[in-house]
Every structure is written in structure tokens, then in C-alpha cells.
Amino acid sequence: MQAEAPWDKPERNAMSRIAYVNGRYLPHRDARVSIEDRGYQFADGCYEVVAMRSGVFIDAGLHLQRLRRSLAALSIRFPMSDAALQVVMTEVARRNAVREGYVYMQITRGVAARDFAFPAPGRPSLVMTARAKALVDMKLMATGIRVITIPDQRWARPDIKSIALLPNALGKEEAKQAGAYEAWQVDRDGNVTEGTSSNAWIVTRGGEVVTRQADHGILDGVTRQGLLRVIAAEGLRLSERPFGVAEAKAAAEALLTSSTNFILPVVRIDDTPIGEGKPGPLAKKLAAAYADYAALGGSDRS
């Protein structure tokens, strides 16, 4: 009998998970990419995480727009229409019995002998997986979460959703070791850019919602874009501008957004309680309003 590879074991007793790999749907244990894939060699690729709730993708259109922008910035060709990509997304979710959770997709420049410069244009690699997850964590909504602050050590283009996520992984681990949920990265001017896998927001004592402008310094989150629409619809005051750590610590409320967490209230930054040290009224209101927005697919709804 053939020895079992270690990476096969975690899925052994679980329902067989199915991945899409370059045109084929395969059980995870059979899903493979080449060791010379440029994603593996150089992190030469992009990704998207698209949330699904009640079987409906949330803002799939905005995710695909951002994916095409990221790929174009890296001159990676992507030979599939949005419609075809959405068929694969739906199929991967269906084959994994996911109705609430997310689809992960990764596109790399493809397979080539290791050389820093680009190979002759070839076939990009596309891998897609799906995972069930409750997108609204009632416990975290009730308690709120803690964040720590860390220096932003990433490259100068975090607006490109590249798979090069080492600084993000290091930051998240630091947060975990500190008993926090997320780490807010701080640029050289002392301003908060964003979390390691989420966007950062505060509510000033004057009731203004503040989040950093979507420049090259942050990923323009799709949840961020959705929440901006919700804020406009609610008639709230908003400012897209930089904010510093001291301003964040003195804020009335703080929150974060991402596709896999929707909206979570932040109740402590480093050792400083925010507001009354519990989830604030506006964070709760925005979380409820965003859930309504997401229920119909976000801005994809017709």
C-alpha cells in the first residue's frame, strides 16, 4: 500500500473537498500544481476571496473587477470571461455544499523554469476552492475584538491583491500571540493603513465615520466598498482620509471589514479600550445594515 502523504491526512475523514485546478474538478488529495509554478517560486499571482450567503455571492462583480485590475497591474493574462469564471465559482461552491462561506481563487503567471524575468506568455494557473463559514460570528459581534498595532512592512502596492502575504501572515501571528484578533498596520507617518486581512475604520466622537482613502497604500476591500454604499444610503457622515494610532485610540468606536468577517466591532487597540470598551451602537447598526445589503448579493442585485 502506498504511504499516505501528510497533506492528505487532515481531509481523510472529512467530506471529500473538491478543488478546481486548471479546468478539472478534483478531490483535494489529488489536486496538484507544479513545483515550478511561479506562484510557488515567486508569489507571482493574485487572489480573491468571495463570500457567499444563502447561496448568493456577495458583490461578485466588484471582486472580479478587482481581480482583473490586480492581474493587469502584473501583466498576467487571464483567459476566461467573467461569466465563465462565475460558472466555475458556482460549481466549486455547489460541489463543496457551501451555501454560507467563501470561494477562494488564485491565479498565477503559470509554470516555467525558474527565472526572475517573465517567461514567454503561457497559460496562467487557476485554482479555486470553497469553504463553509458563518460570516456573522454572533459571539465576536457581542464581545467585539481586540487589535494590536504593528509597523506596515509590506511593499508599496498593497492595492494589488497579490498572493505575496508573508508580512500579513507575520502580523496576524503576532496578533494571535498577543491574544488579539487582528493587527492594524501603521505606515511611516504614523497612520493606520489597514489590517493584515481587513480594512480599518473608526467613528470619531463627533459621529463621523472615517476610513483611509483607497490609494496604493491599502487594498480597496469589496466589503469596504459595500459599506461605503450602506453609509451613503443611511445618510451618515463619512471621511476617507488617513487617521493615526492616537486618533484611533481616542475614537468613539472602531471596526473592521472583510469578506470573511463582514463587520466586526473593535473594542481595544493595544491596551486602550475604545469608547466604553464594548461594541458601539454605530458598529452594530452598520453590521445589521451591511447584512441586509449582502443578503441580496450587494451591488450585484438588479
Cβ proximity to ligand PDD: between 125 and 196 the closer is 196
Q: What distance, in Å, lies between the first and last C-alpha atoms of the chain?
A: 55
Q: What backbone phi and psi angles, to 5 degrees, belong to 121?
A: -50, 125
Residue 161 is among the residues annotated as catalytic for this protein = yes
Cβ proximity to ligand PDD: between 129 and 258 the closer is 258
Cβ proximity to ligand PDD: between 111 and 181 the closer is 181
Q: What backbone phi and psi angles, to 5 degrees, belong to 88?
A: -65, -45
Cβ proximity to ligand PDD: between 125 and 199 the closer is 199
Write the DSSP assignment of 61-89 as a string of letters: HHHHHHHHHHHHHTT----S-HHHHHHHH
Q: What is the contact surface with ligand PDD in residues (CB under 6 A)?
A: 49, 168, 194, 197-199, 219, 221-224, 257-260
The number of angstroms, rounded, from the C-alpha of 192 to the middle of its chain's C-alpha atoms is 17
Task: State the nearest-atom distance from the C-beta of 156 to ligand PDD, in Å.
Answer: 14
With CB atoms as reference, the residue minimizing the distance to ligand PDD is: 221
Cβ proximity to ligand PDD: between 144 and 195 the closer is 195
Angle at 125 between CA 46 and CA 61, to 5 degrees: 50
Task: State the nearest-atom distance from the C-beta of 114 to ligand PDD, in Å.
Answer: 26
Task: State the nearest-atom distance from the C-beta of 197 to ligand PDD, in Å.
Answer: 4
Task: State the nearest-atom distance from the C-beta of 257 to ligand PDD, in Å.
Answer: 6
Cβ proximity to ligand PDD: between 129 and 198 the closer is 198
Helix (H, G, I), strand (E, B) or coil at 185: strand
Q: How far apart, in whole angstroms, are the C-alpha atoms of residue 193 and residue 156?
A: 12
Task: State the nearest-atom distance from the C-beta of 82 to ligand PDD, in Å.
Answer: 17
According to DSSP, the β-strands at 199-203 and 192-195 are: unpaired
Q: Which of 161, 172, 176, 278 is catalytic?
A: 161
The 8 Å CB, 24+ separation contacts for 228-236 are 229/293, 229/299, 230/286, 230/289, 230/290, 230/293, 231/286, 233/289, 234/285, 234/286, 234/289, 236/207, 236/209, 236/282
Task: State the nearest-atom distance from the C-beta of 23 to ligand PDD, in Å.
Answer: 24
Q: How far apart, in whole angstroms, are the C-alpha atoms of residue 63 and residue 66?
A: 5
Is 270 in contact with 187 (CB distance < 8 Å)? no
> Which residues are known to be catalytic?
161
